[in-house]
């Protein structure tokens, strides 16, 4: 297949606990800037660097994300990692994706906070050797653009003031999350996280 016809898909992995409007705005921005043809929100069943105590079951997080993105062009929700050995290391996931979809060029979308920890990931040099990395800004994290290696680009993207953790805390306090998660899932998020 010629390079011109290869589909470009940016992988945006995360717990999405829960998915919020910041995640969606970021994915939409990547497609609008033509950095990729599609963005796949890859719901992670288990992140090796995160505590699991307040993690909603993966099937519920996946269902929330799918419901939130039902009318979003160019952004898909994937359970690909659910079918891989755990814990889910990005290097293994990218290898498995490249094998399953040989005609697709996969890039990786990560936050500046994760870029700061990238050296701790499994096989970081191999990831950089085979995949473009798009680094999006995070509040309070400075990235020296001049120091980025080849194949790693800092992108312009909207900054969202709250994290998924903040949203969970608002729910537990009985405070409004209106405008922070898509309206389609607002009641579901309030119900599911109220007792977490």
Per-residue pLDDT tens over the stretch 103-160: 999 999 999 999 999 999 999 999 999 999 999 999 889 999 999 999 999 999 988 9
Do residues 108 and 89 lie in contact, with contact meaning Cβ atoms separated by under 8 Å?
Answer: no
Note whether 39 and 10 are within 8 A (CB): yes
- The residue with tokens 């963005």 is 39
Mean local confidence (pLDDT), 158-178:
94
Residue 34: pLDDT above 60? yes
- Residue 47: the pLDDT is 59
Can you tell me the mean pLDDT for 178-190?
97
Confidence category of residue 52, pLDDT binned at 50, 70, 90: low
């Amino acid at each position: 297949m010629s390079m011109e016809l290869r589909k470009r898909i940016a992988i945006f992995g995360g717990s999405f606990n829960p998915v919020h409007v910041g995640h969606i705005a970021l994915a939409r921005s990547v497609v609008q800037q033509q950095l990729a043809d599609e963005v796949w929100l890859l719901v992670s069943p288990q992140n090796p660097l995160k505590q699991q105590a307040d993690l909603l079951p993966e099937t519920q997080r996946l269902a929330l994300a799918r419901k939130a993105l039902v009318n979003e062009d160019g952004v898909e929700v994937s359970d690909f990692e659910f079918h891989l050995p755990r814990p889910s290391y990005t290097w293994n996931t990218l290898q498995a994706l490249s094998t399953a979809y040989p005609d697709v060029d996969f890039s990786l979308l990560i936050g500046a906070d994760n870029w700061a920890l990238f050296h701790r990931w499994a096989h970081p040099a191999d990831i950089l050797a085979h995949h473009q990395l798009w680094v999006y800004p995070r509040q309070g994290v400075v990235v020296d653009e001049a120091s980025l290696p080849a194949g790693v680009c800092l992108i312009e993207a909207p900054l969202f003031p709250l994290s998924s953790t903040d949203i969970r805390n608002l729910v537990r306090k009985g405070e409004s999350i209106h405008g922070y998660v898509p309206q389609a899932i607002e009641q579901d998020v309030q119900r599911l996280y109220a007792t977490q």
